[in-house]
Amino acid sequence: MVNFVWIYMNIKMKKIILFTLAALFSMPFVSKAADGDDSEGLKVMSYNIRLGSANDGTNSWALRASATQDMLADQAPDVFGVQEALEYQVLFLEDMCGYEYVGVGRENGKKEGEHMAIFWNKKKVSMLKWGTFWLSETPEKPSMGWDAACKRTATWAIMKDKKTGKKFCFINTHLDHEGKEAQKNGLKLIVDRLSEINPDGYPMVLTGDFNITPDNKALTDLDAKMQSARKIAEKTDSHDTYNGWGRGSGVIDYIYVSGFSSCPEFQTVVKRYKDRKFVSDHYPVFARLIF
């Protein structure tokens, strides 16, 4: 049996991988993202895609990649942030799902390690500038901060909605899963940098797996600057975002916003794709925003 995880990791064989996956999963589909969807507002998503190298058995990335493809085609976010994505997963989303991206590997600022990448539909949104910083005491270089178990980053971008001409700031991050000081100080660093990243005060979106629940005091500073889309949306839900392949629970994935006139919709995407119960060990979270 072909080892698809190993094949994915051979970046030089990317084109072979793409044709192989297409044949394997027989995926005739038309991406809403590629065609451009004229639904009102800016559609954004946060998606912890689950580390592709994880030993997840029947939930391994090679077996659920096509489900992720179908999910993105169905939900059609204009912009979304991913967490835990290795380079071959990022390339899959770029080449098979009709999106462009920015982001770097957290280990060396290049390709190594997890990418907190930002993806966008180029027919709906244009990229103006972007950057990455590490959640640490030395944010300009690859580094581990405070009591963190891993290097953590935030990727930011200034973007423009082509339909309205409105500019906005999009930030995507993944807080540490163990270090309490790293969670608190990492989020504080992001909040403290908002005015530097977004000096013109454009509407903002922050997506991420924060690894903390809504009652955590580490959210205090962020709550003073931005609002949880889940809380302010006209149509919303209270579904857990971490599923742990059916063994987990809790709300730890977020979309925070500021500067938009309204948020008509927030949803936790629990729908099945390709008859798979889970597209990841986290459910994607989605919001629609009006400038």
- Residue 16 in this model has a pLDDT that exceeds 60: no
- Sheet with 118-120, edge to edge strand ranges: 100-102, 118-120, 79-83, 42-48, 285-290, 262-268
- Residue 59 in this model has a pLDDT that exceeds 80: yes
Residue with the larger pLDDT of the pair 9 and 267 = 267
Residue 172 domain flag: yes
Q: How many domains does the chain have?
A: 1
Domain carrying residue 160? 31-290
What confidence score (pLDDT) does residue 39 get?
Answer: 53
- Residue 15 in this model has a pLDDT that exceeds 80: no
pLDDT digits (tens, 9 = 90+) for 20-56: 344 344 443 334 444 444 458 999 999 999 999 999 9
Which tokens sit at 47? 């998606």
Residue 15 domain flag: no
Amino acid type, 231: K
What confidence score (pLDDT) does residue 172 get?
Answer: 98
Which tokens sit at 189? 């660093």
pLDDT band at residue 158 using 50, 70 and 90 as cut-offs = very high
Which tokens sit at 61? 């990335």
What confidence score (pLDDT) does residue 117 get?
Answer: 98
Rounded mean pLDDT of 243-267? 98
Residue 262 DSSP SS3: strand
Residue 23 domain flag: no
- What whole-number distance in Å separates Cα of residue 140 and Cα of residue 244? 33
* Domain CATH number, residue 57: 3.60.10.10
- Residue 161 in this model has a pLDDT that exceeds 50: yes
pTM of the model: 0.88
Residue 280 is classified by DSSP as S
What confidence score (pLDDT) does residue 40 get?
Answer: 80
- What whole-number distance in Å separates Cα of residue 137 and Cα of residue 141? 10
pLDDT digits (tens, 9 = 90+) for 82-128: 999 999 999 999 999 989 999 999 999 999 999 999 999 999 999 99
What confidence score (pLDDT) does residue 33 get?
Answer: 47
Residue 18 domain flag: no
Residue 231 domain flag: yes
Rounded mean pLDDT of 177-193? 98
- What whole-number distance in Å separates Cα of residue 23 and Cα of residue 289? 37
Q: For residue 31, what are the CA distances in angstroms to 93, 95, 254?
A: 12, 12, 25
**Mean pLDDT of the residues in the chain:** 90
What confidence score (pLDDT) does residue 129 get?
Answer: 98
Residue 12 is classified by DSSP as G
